[in-house]
């Protein structure tokens, strides 16, 4: 009687605990439902002073008075005035501290900037021409005076040409002076001496227009003066300089044209901002402009196409918010279908799904809490949490549940305690392994990897809580007979799959060396694919290919097709000018516009000019490089990457993107992944007392990961830069589960080595295959996303888990264990390999 009351009392307590779990779920649910509003999509929060692009930004702000702005490109349809008003009104409503740049403003500013730079050159040329222009004006005035006093000019002609021929006589002082000068001149022909002597005496160059045989023709003289226009001829005679008529008539315009020809203005025209009924406006906003504001601005301009650095991230935020809800629904739907097939009982399915939901709610609530301590939820961190939590929680829960069913069917008096002691140990052991594996991210010097690591660690911890605590509470609160509904008996943890797994593991053991050879060939083939394919940072990976910002990038390619890189060269241009010139020339030849110490737009200066100092400050020379590709486009990233690889300090949006990508990828493969392997290996060595089991585990996980990524490359071609990293990161932690389920079961089994291996694969096979299908299904739900990047992760992790579940664990692992035999447990060989038959 006392036992009945005790059991009833314990049952009531467990029901109370179950209610508390559900209350906790309701309380925390709002945080999980609204967590996407806290996601960060820009790379900027994860940039620090170690990045070259950040150093460039600091130099620009400190020494070149740059403001850190981002450009939003707005392409409208309609007439100019209406479009301008709509864009300006919308920007003033939604954007803070914006500046609207109209096409005409941009062209005017470009021209003003250009003219301010070339004006000193124009002025120098103009001053050189100005004396000739003054001479030209004097000659025009003199011609008019001569026409008004033609008799005096006839006298000059008679003296010049008549006196030497003896056809004219005069005793005037000017005539006598002419004869004296003429007689003194020794060089030249008679006509040359006559003209030179005349110019010395009369200072009148118009006599050069006549000669000995035509000076006396009065009509000819008069008509020649009246029709004369070739002042450049007279100036050349007077000064010896070859000049053009345009040069002496309008020296300022001539100087400007001459300099523009030598140093062409930027190739900007209204056609780059206006085609048909389309107009391009640029809205400048601070780099830290709220993505929510940008998103509202984009929505308000529904008839316009908007793109740029911030709109790309804003669009990604919108798509992510939509996809997150869809992914969650698909995840639950896929898990439900799989659980119906695998479990075939309603109540256990409900328990498993509620357990997964609790894990997700706890994970997101912890992330929300961390935001109060300065944590920024990178959207990738937020997006990988649902499949990880759903997958791990259900995996652990189903392991616990199956072990409970097994003990109930065996007639165990306290099945829950036995299940908790055995399966609970495996869950805790595996969960700690995963958490330790994910914790390696926390020690990375990459801010982005640390951010992702925090989310991963929270995911693993949040999965353990319901898997260990909620499942036990739920099972203790529900009578066994309800667990079988609508079936007559509870699910059988043993079915036909066990016979299949037993058979396939025996085949693997019997042909273990052939299996090993196949593994080696597969590993080499997978690695070959991995190293011969490349990743990308294309924007259509993080937004749908049909999205507005992608179409905007395509339209920009037909309009204002530029993004800006800032190149800093340290040192005085007196010593670095040759390097600056050669770099500027190289970039201009690739279609860029370069404004710097050695160039303006497409114009190059072989030698230093006054322009050089305009782009020099505090021992730094600046090159503003307008590369002929939109921001984040394939061409922009490649050209910027080339500059970085050549050793230059490069800033700008493209450079920031490259810095965060290269730094994150490099540090993952050189820091995080090796540290993950070391931590897991050390933990397993300490826990299992074996050195070879952790090494074998790492190698098989590496094979699974390489296989999954190679299949991804073969299916998708080029992958988003984070995809291989995420696949490796998740597999190297989550992949531990299934292996550990087998290893721990081997340690529980009796018999010789091969019998233990076969029995372990057989008895854990149902759980492992079910868990593998569930975890793979959770990640494959990501393929419901509109973002190719998430589709890649979903497909990559899903296919890798399926390969690991149905090939590596039941085939490859038994073969290796059978080859190593007692050495699997070295150095504790004796205690763990005794024959207990």
Of 15-24, 58-67, 289-298, the poorest mean pLDDT is in: 15-24
Q: Using the CB atoms, write b or e for 702-739: b if 16+ within 10 Å.
A: bbbbbbbbbbbbeebeebbbbbbbbbbbbbbbbbbbbb
CB 659 within 8 A of CB 52: yes
In the listed set 463, 493, 523, which residue is the last one of a domain according to the structure?
493
Instruction: Give the residue carrying structure tokens 């000017």.
Output: 174
Q: Is residue 306 part of a domain?
A: no
Report CA-CA distances (Å) from 580 to 114, 262, 597. Answer: 20, 19, 7
pLDDT tens track for 440-491: 999 998 888 999 999 999 999 998 888 888 888 888 888 777 777 776 777 6
Indicate the SS3 state at residue 236.
helix
Q: Would you mind telling me the total number of residues written for the chain in this entry?
A: 837
Q: Please choose, from the candidates 390, 333, 427, 397, the residue with its C-alpha nearest in 3D space to the C-alpha of residue 779.
A: 390
pLDDT tens track for 605-647: 888 887 888 899 999 999 999 998 888 888 899 999 999 999 9
User: What's the mean pLDDT in 172-199?
Assistant: 91
Q: What is the model's pLDDT at position 494?
A: 61
CA dist 658 and 660 (Å) reads: 6
Q: Is residue 77 part of a domain?
A: no
Examine the domain organization and report whether 730 and 620 are in the same domain.
no
Instruction: Give the CATH number of the domain where residue 602 resides.
Output: 3.30.70
CB 709 within 8 A of CB 728: yes
- What does pLDDT average to over the chain? 86
Q: Quote the tokens at residue 791.
A: 């589709």
Q: Please choose, from the candidates 113, 78, 98, 114, the residue with its C-alpha nearest in 3D space to the C-alpha of residue 282.
A: 98
Q: Is residue 204 part of a domain?
A: yes
pLDDT tens track for 71-103: 899 999 989 999 999 999 999 999 988 999 999
User: What's the mean pLDDT in 205-221?
Assistant: 91
Examine the domain organization and report whether 697 and 623 are in the same domain.
no
Number of domains in the chain: 4
Indicate the SS3 state at residue 71.
strand
Q: Identify the band that residue 12 occupies on the pLDDT scale cut at 50, 70 and 90.
A: low
Q: What is the model's pLDDT at position 14?
A: 67
In the chain, pLDDT over 70 holds for what percent of residues? 96
pLDDT at 330 over 50: yes
Examine the domain organization and report whether 414 and 521 are in the same domain.
no
Q: Is residue 276 part of a domain?
A: no
Name beta bridge partners: 72. 283, 308
Examine the domain organization and report whether 506 and 489 are in the same domain.
no
Q: What is the model's pLDDT at position 497?
A: 63
Q: Quote the tokens at residue 99.
A: 């500046």
Q: Identify the band that residue 4 occupies on the pLDDT scale cut at 50, 70 and 90.
A: very low
Examine the domain organization and report whether 746 and 620 are in the same domain.
no
Q: Quote the tokens at residue 525.
A: 């083939």
Q: What is the model's pLDDT at position 834?
A: 45
Q: Please choose, from the candidates 383, 435, 455, the residue with its C-alpha nearest in 3D space to the C-alpha of residue 792.
A: 383
CA dist 7 and 11 (Å) reads: 6
Instruction: Give the CATH number of the domain where residue 376 resides.
Output: 1.20.1640.10
Instruction: Indicate the pairing of strand 719-720 with strand 535-536.
Output: parallel
Indicate the SS3 state at residue 628.
coil
Q: Is residue 274 part of a domain?
A: no
pLDDT at 518 over 70: yes
Q: Identify the band that residue 832 occupies on the pLDDT scale cut at 50, 70 and 90.
A: very low
Tell me phi and psi for residue 279, to 5 degrees.
-130, 140
pLDDT at 495 over 70: no
Instruction: Indicate the pairing of strand 69-77 with strand 278-286.
Output: antiparallel
Give the torsion sign (CA, 252, 256, 262, 263).
positive
CA dist 195 and 207 (Å) reads: 7
Report CA-CA distances (Å) from 409 to 90, 399, 401. Answer: 69, 15, 12
CA dist 418 and 429 (Å) reads: 16
CA dist 825 and 810 (Å) reads: 19
Q: Is residue 196 part of a domain?
A: yes
More confident residue, 828 or 506: 506
CA dist 767 and 745 (Å) reads: 12
In the listed set 198, 231, 262, which residue is the last one of a domain according to the structure?
262
Long-range contacts of 267-275 (CB under 8 A, 24+ apart): 267/593, 267/601, 267/602, 268/106, 268/107, 268/110, 269/107, 270/103, 270/104, 270/107, 272/559, 272/560, 272/561, 273/103, 273/106, 273/107, 273/559, 273/560, 274/80, 274/103, 275/558, 275/559
Q: What is the model's pLDDT at position 194?
A: 92
Examine the domain organization and report whether 613 and 648 are in the same domain.
yes
Q: Is residue 444 part of a domain?
A: yes
Examine the domain organization and report whether 510 and 424 are in the same domain.
no
pLDDT tens track for 524-574: 999 999 999 988 888 888 888 888 898 988 888 888 888 899 999 999 998
End-to-end CA distance of the chain: give it in Å, rounded.
42
Instruction: Give the CATH number of the domain where residue 770 resides.
Output: 1.20.1640
Q: Quote the tokens at residue 743.
A: 């290893």
Q: What is the model's pLDDT at position 829?
A: 56
Examine the domain organization and report whether 488 and 510 are in the same domain.
no
CA dist 16 and 10 (Å) reads: 10
Q: Is residue 281 part of a domain?
A: no
CA 773, distance to chain mean position in Å, is 33
Alpha helices (runs of H) in 749-809, residue ranges in sequence order: 753-780, 788-803
Examine the domain organization and report whether 405 and 461 are in the same domain.
yes
CA dist 33 and 35 (Å) reads: 6
Indicate the SS3 state at residue 837.
coil
pLDDT at 837 over 80: no
CA dist 357 and 803 (Å) reads: 27
Examine the domain organization and report whether 449 and 405 are in the same domain.
yes
Examine the domain organization and report whether 478 and 610 are in the same domain.
no
In the listed set 206, 236, 262, which residue is the last one of a domain according to the structure?
262
Examine the domain organization and report whether 515 and 580 are in the same domain.
no
Q: Please choose, from the candidates 652, 698, 660, the residue with its C-alpha nearest in 3D space to the C-alpha of residue 676.
A: 698
CB 371 within 8 A of CB 377: yes
Q: Domain range spanning residue 427?
A: 1-33+343-493
Q: What is the model's pLDDT at position 23?
A: 86
Q: Identify the band that residue 1 occupies on the pLDDT scale cut at 50, 70 and 90.
A: very low
């Amino acid at each position: 009687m006392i036992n009945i009351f005790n059991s009833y009392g314990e049952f009531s307590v467990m029901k109370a605990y179950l209610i508390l779990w559900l209350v906790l779920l309701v309380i925390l649910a709002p945080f999980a439902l609204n967590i996407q509003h806290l996601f960060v999509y820009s790379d900027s929060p994860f940039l620090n002073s170690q990045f070259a692009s950040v150093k460039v930004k600091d130099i620009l702000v400190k020494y070149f008075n740059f403001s850190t702005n981002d450009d939003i490109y707005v392409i409208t349809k309609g007439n100019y005035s209406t479009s301008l008003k709509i864009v300006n009104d919308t920007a003033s409503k939604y954007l803070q501290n914006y500046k609207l740049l109209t096409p005409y403003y941009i062209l005017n500013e470009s021209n003003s900037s250009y003219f301010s730079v070339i004006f000193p050159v124009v002025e120098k040329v103009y001053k050189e021409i100005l004396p000739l222009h003054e001479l030209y004006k004097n000659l025009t005035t003199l011609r008019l005076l001569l026409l008004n006093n033609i008799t005096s000019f006839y006298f000059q002609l008679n003296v010049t040409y008549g006196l030497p021929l003896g056809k004219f006589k005069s005793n005037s002082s000017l005539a006598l002076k002419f004869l004296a000068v003429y007689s003194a001149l020794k060089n030249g022909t008679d006509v040359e001496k006559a003209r030179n002597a005349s110019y010395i005496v009369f200072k009148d160059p118009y006599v050069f227009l006549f000669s000995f045989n035509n000076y006396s023709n009065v009509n000819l003289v008069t008509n020649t003066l009246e029709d004369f226009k070739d002042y450049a001829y007279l100036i050349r005679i007077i000064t010896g300089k070859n000049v053009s008529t345009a040069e002496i008539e309008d020296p300022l315009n001539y100087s400007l044209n001459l300099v523009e020809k030598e140093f062409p203005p930027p190739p900007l025209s209204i056609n780059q901002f206006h085609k048909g009924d389309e107009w391009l406006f640029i809205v400048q906003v601070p780099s830290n402009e709220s993505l929510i504001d940008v998103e509202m601005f984009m929505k308000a301009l529904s008839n316009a196409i908007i793109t740029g650095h911030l709109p790309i991230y804003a669009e990604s935020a919108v798509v992510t918010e939509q996809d997150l809800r869809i992914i969650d629904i698909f995840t639950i739907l896929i898990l439900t279908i799989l659980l119906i097939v695998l479990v075939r009982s309603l109540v256990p399915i409900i328990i498993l799904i509620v357990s997964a939901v609790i894990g997700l709610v706890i994970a997101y609530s912890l992330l929300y809490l961390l935001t109060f301590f300065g944590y920024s939820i990178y959207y990738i961190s937020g997006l990988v949490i649902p499949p990880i939590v759903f997958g791990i929680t259900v995996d652990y829960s189903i392991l616990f549940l199956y072990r409970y069913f097994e003990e109930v069917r065996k007639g165990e008096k306290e099945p829950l305690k036995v299940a908790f002691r055995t399966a609970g140990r495996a869950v805790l052991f595996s969960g700690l392994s995963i958490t330790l594996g994910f914790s390696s991210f926390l020690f990375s010097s990459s801010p982005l990897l640390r951010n992702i690591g925090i989310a991963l660690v929270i995911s693993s911890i949040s999965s353990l809580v319901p898997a260990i605590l909620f499942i036990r509470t739920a099972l203790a609160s529900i009578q066994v007979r309800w667990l079988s509904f609508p079936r007559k008996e509870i699910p059988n943890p043993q079915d036909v799959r066990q016979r299949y797994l037993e058979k396939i593991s025996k085949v693997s053991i019997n042909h273990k060396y052939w299996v090993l050879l196949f593994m080696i060939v597969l590993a080499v083939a997978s690695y070959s694919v991995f190293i011969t394919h490349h990743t990308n940072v294309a924007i259509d990976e993080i937004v749908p290919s049909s999205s507005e910002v992608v179409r905007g990038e395509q339209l920009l390619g037909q309009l204002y097709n530029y993004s800006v890189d800032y190149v800093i060269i340290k040192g005085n241009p007196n010593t670095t000018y040759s390097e600056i010139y050669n770099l500027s020339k190289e970039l201009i030849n690739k279609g860029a516009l370069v404004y710097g110490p050695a160039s303006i737009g497409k114009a190059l200066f072989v030698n230093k000019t006054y322009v050089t100092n305009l782009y020099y400050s505090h021992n730094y020379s600046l090159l503003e490089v307008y590369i002929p590709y939109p921001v984040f486009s394939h061409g922009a990233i490649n050209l910027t990457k080339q500059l970085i690889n050549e050793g230059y300090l490069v800033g700008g949006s493209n450079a920031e993107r490259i810095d965060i990508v290269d730094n994150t990828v490099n540090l993952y493969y050189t820091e995080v992944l090796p540290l993950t392997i070391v931590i897991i290996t050390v933990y397993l060595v300490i826990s299992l007392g074996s050195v070879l089991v952790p090494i074998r585990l790492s190698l098989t996980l590496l094979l699974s990961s390489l296989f999954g990524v190679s299949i991804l490359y073969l299916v998708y071609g080029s992958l988003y830069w984070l995809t291989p990293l995420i696949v490796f990161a998740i597999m190297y932690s989550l992949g531990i589960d299934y292996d550990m389920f087998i290893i721990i079961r081997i340690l529980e089994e009796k018999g010789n080595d091969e019998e233990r291996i076969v029995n372990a694969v057989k008895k854990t096979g149902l759980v492992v295959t079910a868990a593998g299908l569930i975890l793979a299904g959770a990640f494959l739900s990501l393929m419901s996303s509109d973002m190719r990047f998430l589709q890649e992760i979903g497909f990559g992790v899903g296919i890798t888990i399926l390969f690991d579940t149905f090939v590596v664990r039941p085939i490859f692992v038994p073969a290796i264990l059978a080859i190593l035999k007692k050495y699997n447990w070295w150095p504790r060989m004796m205690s763990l390999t005794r024959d207990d038959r």
